[in-house]
């Protein structure tokens, strides 16, 4: 036992002799509760945790508080208050991801942190009512990463912008028309995530430094401008709207400036919006970097098929296509197969290797698309599909048709996903 204790003390001494920044890294890797508990190891360790630059309050740090009750909430608030009161030095990262009913407590923490050099701030406010973010949050001059959910996001009128912000992640929030002006004040913004928001149905986004874009919402109108560096764009229009045909091209307004995009996902009812305006044969600028294209499409709608064809014509290096089938609108069924009348597609799918079509029922245009790809993709390796039809006879017919299609690629495999 004596030898075991000597080894423990020697190990402890070795840890104590490490540089302060190394100790901070070690303590940061622990749940905050365990990092605070190191204060009982020895007199030297009593206050080492108080300089940790990263503070995270979540179920990992406080597992006993996972189930909500007024007593547990009071314990959590007291714990956060005590940590912030005893903490010394800068707080570079602050995360709070536990259910709270007490808004005054959150206000108090944000006001306290406004004097620190906070670079990353996360607040997942798991409440029934949305929490209105106080104006002091928008004065965090050193903030680089901002992530909030279930909040009312309304910056003060006299707002000069978080000049160093690079990542903005907003989910389940309320915003208004001032949001567009708010975004324009971030000259270094590289990643924008805006999911499940209300208060705004028309959105105009511009950001010359944006690299990542993820937008999901009940939008009626969308326009991108001056975002040439975006490499990943994930866009989902969740609501159905009646769009009138016009001379303006929604397709160009949304994707026309994504010159550097490598991965593009157009989901929900977005294709319906893009197809409402003028659809050109090709985009003004070729998408030479686009490798992965994901679409949710009604194959029986000719306008949406025209959008898909325009994107494919404009993407000579396309490697993978993922198509998710919308439910068929019987009123839009064409009188003739769209794919049978297409001509002049030499080299259209020259680099295409993987195609996945999910949810087909065996309609003429669905099978026509698959046949069209098989006939024009010399490098194709996989044609994956998943059938929604449950009738055995319908499944057999689809299998029969697919296996009889001519293939430009000798190594192309037709793979059925699911049962």
Give the pLDDT confidence of 333-389 residue by residue, as tens digits: 554 566 666 665 667 899 999 999 998 888 888 888 999 999 999 999 999 988 886
Q: Region 261-288: what's the mean pLDDT?
A: 91
Residue 304 belongs to what H/E stretch? helix 302-313
What pLDDT score does 38 carry?
65
Asked if residue 108 is part of any domain, the answer here is yes
Which segment of 7-16, 98-107, 280-289, 363-372 scores lowest on mean pLDDT? 7-16
Is 93 domain-assigned? yes
262: nearest Cα among 238, 223, 306, 228: 228
pLDDT in tens, 132-158: 888 889 888 899 999 999 899 988 887
pLDDT value of residue 331: 44
Q: Is the pLDDT of residue 46 over 90?
A: no
Q: Six-digit token pair at 200?
A: 């705004």
Higher-confidence residue of 311 and 397: namely: 311
pLDDT of residue 330: 45
C-alpha span between 237 and 242 (Å, rounded) = 13
Has residue 287 got a pLDDT over 90?
Answer: yes
215 located within any domain: no
Higher pLDDT, 7 or 102: 102
Q: Which of 52, 7, 8 is nearest to 30 (CA)?
A: 52
**pLDDT for the residue 335:** 46
Query: What is the band of 223 on the pLDDT scale with cuts at 50, 70, 90?
Result: very high
* Contact (Cβ atoms closer than 8 angstroms) between residue 142 and residue 115: no
d(CA 261, CA 271): 18
Q: Would residue 414 count as lying in a domain?
A: no
- The answer to whether residue 213 sits within a structural domain is no
Q: Are 208 and 186 in contact (CB under 8 A)?
A: no
User: Are 204 and 223 a contacting pair, CB within 8 Å?
Assistant: yes
* Cα 160 from chain centre: 26
CB atoms under 10 Å from CB of 182, counted, come to 19
What confidence tens digit (pLDDT) does each residue in 64-115 have? 655 656 677 788 888 888 888 888 888 999 998 877 776 788 889 999 998 7
Q: Does residue 412 contact residue 374 with C-beta atoms inside 8 Å?
A: yes
Examine residue 112 and state whether it is found in any structural domain, yes or no: yes
Look at residue 264 in the predicted model and tell me its pLDDT.
97
pLDDT tier at 10, thresholds 50, 70, 90? low
- Quick one: pLDDT at residue 12? 52
CATH label of the domain that carries residue 129: 3.80.10
Measured at the CA of 78, the angle between CA 50 and CA 28, to 5 degrees, comes to: 30
307 within 8 A of 283, measured Cβ to Cβ: no
The domain of 165 spans: 53-200
pTM: 0.85
Backbone φ and ψ for 400, nearest 5 degrees, come out as -60, -45
Residue 392 falls inside a structural domain: no
Give CA–CA dist 205/245, Å, rounded: 23
Task: State the pLDDT at residue 68.
Answer: 59
Say how many domains are in the chain. Answer: 1
CA–CA distance from 333 to each of 275, 277, 302, 327 (Å)? 16, 20, 8, 12
Q: Which of 21-35, 135-149, 226-240 has the lowest mean pLDDT?
A: 21-35
Burial class (CB in 10 A: 0-12, 13-18, 19+), 242: exposed
Q: E strand or H helix at 416, and its extent?
A: strand 413-416
Does position 183 have pLDDT exceeding 90, yes or no?
A: no
Q: Which of 175, 142, 136 is nearest to 159 (CA)?
A: 136
Residue 230 lies in a domain: no
Look at residue 236 in the predicted model and tell me its pLDDT: 95
Please count the helices (runs of H) and the strands (runs of E) in the chain. Answer: 11, 18
pLDDT interval class at 397 (50, 70, 90): confident
Report the percent of the chain where pLDDT is more than 90: 36
Q: For residue 226, is it left (φ>0), alpha (ψ between -120 and 50) or beta?
A: left
In angstroms, the CA 267 to CA 290 distance is 17
CB 49 within 8 A of CB 27: yes
């Amino acid at each position: 036992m004596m030898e075991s204790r000597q080894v423990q003390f020697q190990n402890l001494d070795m840890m104590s002799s490490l540089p302060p920044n190394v100790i901070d890294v070690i303590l940061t890797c622990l749940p905050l509760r365990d990092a605070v508990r190191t204060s009982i190891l020895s007199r030297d360790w009593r206050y080492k945790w108080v300089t940790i630059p990263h503070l995270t309050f979540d179920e990992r740090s406080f597992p006993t508080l996972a189930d909500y009750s007024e007593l547990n909430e009071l314990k959590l608030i007291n714990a956060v208050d005590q940590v912030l009161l005893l903490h010394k030095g800068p707080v570079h990262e602050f995360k709070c991801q536990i259910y709270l009913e007490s808004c005054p407590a959150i206000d108090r923490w944000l006001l306290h942190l406004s004097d620190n050099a906070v670079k990353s701030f996360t607040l997942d406010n798991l409440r029934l009512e949305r929490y209105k973010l106080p104006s002091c949050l928008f004065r965090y001059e050193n903030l680089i990463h901002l992530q909030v959910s279930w909040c009312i996001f309304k910056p003060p009128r006299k707002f000069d912008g978080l000049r160093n912000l690079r990542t903005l992640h907003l989910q389940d929030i309320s915003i208004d028309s001032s949001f567009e002006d708010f975004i324009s004040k971030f000259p270094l913004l590289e990643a924008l995530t805006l999911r499940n928001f209300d208060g705004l149905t028309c959105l105009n986004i511009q950001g010359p430094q944006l690299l990542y874009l993820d937008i999901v919402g009940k939008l009626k109108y969308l326009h991108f401008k001056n975002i040439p560096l975006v490499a990943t764009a994930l866009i989902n229009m969740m609501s159905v709207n009646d769009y009138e045909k016009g001379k303006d091209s929604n397709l160009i307004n949304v994707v026309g400036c994504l010159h550097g995009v490598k991965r593009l996902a157009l989901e929900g009812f977005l294709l319906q919006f893009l197809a409402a305006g003028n659809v050109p044969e090709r985009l003004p600028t070729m998408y030479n970097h686009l490798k992965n294209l994901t679409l949710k499409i009604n194959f029986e709608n000719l306008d949406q098929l025209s959008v898909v064809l325009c994107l494919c014509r404009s993407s000579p290096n396309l490697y993978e296509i993922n198509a998710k089938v919308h439910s068929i609108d019987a009123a839009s069924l064409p009188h003739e197969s769209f794919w049978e009348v297409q001509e002049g597609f030499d080299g259209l799918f020259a680099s295409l290797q993987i195609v996945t079509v999910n949810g087909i029922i065996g309609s003429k245009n669905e099978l026509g698309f698959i046949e069209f790809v098989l006939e024009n993709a010399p490098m194709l390796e996989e044609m994956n599909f998943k059938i929604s039809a449950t009738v055995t006879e319908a499944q057999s017919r689809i299998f029969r048709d697919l296996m009889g299609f001519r293939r430009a690629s000798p190594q192309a495999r037709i793979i059925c996903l699911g049962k």
